[in-house]
Amino acid sequence: MSDTRSHWDNVYTLKQPSEVSWYQPHLRVSFDLIVRAGVSRTDQIIDVGGGGSTLVDDLLDHDFQNITVLDISSKAIDISRARLGTRAALVNWVTDDVVHAALEHGRYRLWHDRAVLHFLTGENDRRAYIRQLRHAVRAGGSAIISTFSTEGPEKCSGLTVRRYSPETLIAELGAGFRLTESRLENHTTPSGTVQSFLYCLFSISG
């Protein structure tokens, strides 16, 4: 885990937040799917890998009150805390690897992940991720998971990724996850490269 943490701390040390390939000023697809999931302003939301993301800004702008941002990189979290200023105190910040983090059972109504799962190329890590998701999200909750699509790149930030279709992502997650909606997004990186992202909204049964 220390090597992974060092890798991402280094990424956020060498580049400005707006320079990383996955940067978007607003995560419009993610936010729209959060609304479509029927999440209330008081529901508990966890943004996995959201350390440098602006999704938390938009959630606060729309009066969401119970937001947790989890990221393996303290550098990424420091960037968002500085950007938010005094509003950072309204957010629960967790610096940890999602596959090892001590998450409270059934706490969250919604799990959001834009581009964490696709970095988990080892089967043990993927199984641990799914266990964490099942553990942390209550029955009847939702998960939004975004990965590179089958047309997306095979590497990101120097690391190999796993690309998914809706069918392979459903198979990866297993029983208890019902696909509610899927979308493709052609994301233009700050350098001008187009990357194909898949977004899937799942409802989770007990």
pLDDT in tens, 26-47: 899 999 999 999 999 999 999 9
Please give the sequence-ordered ranges of beta strands (E in DSSP) within the chain, or none if there are none.
Answer: 44-48, 66-71, 91-95, 108-114, 137-148, 155-156, 159-160, 177-188, 194-204
* pLDDT at residue 168 in the model: 98
Percent over 70 (pLDDT), the chain: 99
C-alpha to C-alpha distance for 203 and 111, rounded to whole angstroms: 10
Q: Calculate the CA dihedral of residues 25, 31, 33, 37 and round it to 10 degrees.
A: 160
**194: Cβ–Cβ under 8 A, 6 or more apart, which residues?**
186, 187, 188
More reliable by pLDDT, 19 or 195: 195
Percent over 90 (pLDDT), the chain: 82
Beta bridge partners of 47: 69, 112
* pLDDT at residue 12 in the model: 79
C-alpha to C-alpha distance for 44 and 109, rounded to whole angstroms: 5
Helix ranges (H only) for 90-203 are: 123-136, 166-173
* pLDDT-based confidence at residue 17 (cuts at 50, 70, 90): confident
CA distances from 123 to 26, 126, 172 (A): 32, 5, 10
The angle subtended at Cα 70 by Cα 61 and Cα 17, nearest 5°, is 65
Edge to edge, what strands does the sheet with 91-95 contain? Answer: 91-95, 66-71, 44-48, 108-114, 137-148, 194-204, 177-188
pLDDT in tens, 57-96: 999 999 999 999 999 999 999 999 999 999 999 999 999 9
* pLDDT at residue 13 in the model: 81
* pLDDT-based confidence at residue 1 (cuts at 50, 70, 90): low
More reliable by pLDDT, 132 or 4: 132
CA distances from 80 to 25, 36, 54, 139, 174 (A): 13, 25, 8, 30, 33
* pLDDT at residue 14 in the model: 77
* pLDDT-based confidence at residue 191 (cuts at 50, 70, 90): confident
Q: Which domains does the chain have, with CATH numbers?
A: 2-204 (3.40.50.150)
* pLDDT at residue 200 in the model: 98
Q: Which two tokens stand for residue 19?
A: 């320079």
* pLDDT at residue 206 in the model: 66
Q: Per-residue pLDDT averaged across 115-143, rounded?
A: 97
Rounded to the nearest integer, the mean pLDDT of the chain is 93
* pLDDT at residue 2 in the model: 63
